[in-house]
Copies of this chain bind each other. A is one copy, B any other.
Amino acid sequence: MEGKEEDVRLGANKFSERQPIGTSAQTDKDYKEPPPAPLFEPGELQSWSFYRAGIAEFVATFLFLYITVLTVMGVSQSKTKCTTVGVQGIAWAFGGMIFALVYCTAGISGGHINPAVTFGLFLILAPLPIGFAVFLVHLATIPITGTGINPARSLGAAIMYNRDHAWDDQWIFWVGPFIGAALAAVYHQLIIRAIPFKARA
């Protein structure tokens, strides 16, 4: 990795995909492409880890809906908004639950909690930036659409609520997140990880 070979590698991605926060970009380490992992292996069906991951995602999604729906109800059923946690409180509930649940389930099931995230094959960031991102999206879009970036939670809420207007717009909360996840996956593949001038090792 030292010596004159360096010169040939112009354009190669010099950074390990996840440097510790704040490390500068001046290391000489070359990028190592991980071998692609298969989406599904039949052997998984016999492994306890597989079912454990499923149960953990179910419990996490249950807790996620329980806390966030209660928070929304507390705000929407109050006559005067000033005595509630407000829209900002709702945004904290979503972002904070994602932070805590990703933290708890990352080692067991990967901590997706959101089918669109699974679809986009997102790399798992640390829980805190993920949670903040979710918080901020809710701050910004609750006044416009009510926010539904997680198809599983939108579906769950619609099943329980079960009125016409909850089902009429349900498709947008599936199409939107999946298009977003696809765009993110493309961006990640083409820009963040891409090594255009050189074949991969």
Chain A interface (Cβ < 8 Å from any Cβ of B): 1-2, 10-15, 17-19, 21-26, 37, 43, 46-49, 52-53, 55-56, 59, 66-68, 70-71, 74, 77-78, 80-89, 91-93, 96-97, 99-100, 103-104, 106-111, 124-129, 131-133, 135-137, 139-144, 187, 191-192, 194-198
Contacts and interface: CB of A to CB of B under 8 A. Distances in A.
B11 A46 contact: yes
A60 to B, nearest CB: 11
Given A132-B96, A140-B71, A198-B48, A88 B89 contact: yes
B93 A140 contact: yes
A36 to B, nearest CB: 12
A100 B132 contact: yes
A155 to B, nearest CB: 21
A24 to B, nearest CB: 6
A201 to B, nearest CB: 10
Contacts of A111: 22
A19 B91 contact: no
A137 to B, nearest CB: 7
Nearest to A55: B191
B74 A143 contact: yes
A199 to B, nearest CB: 11
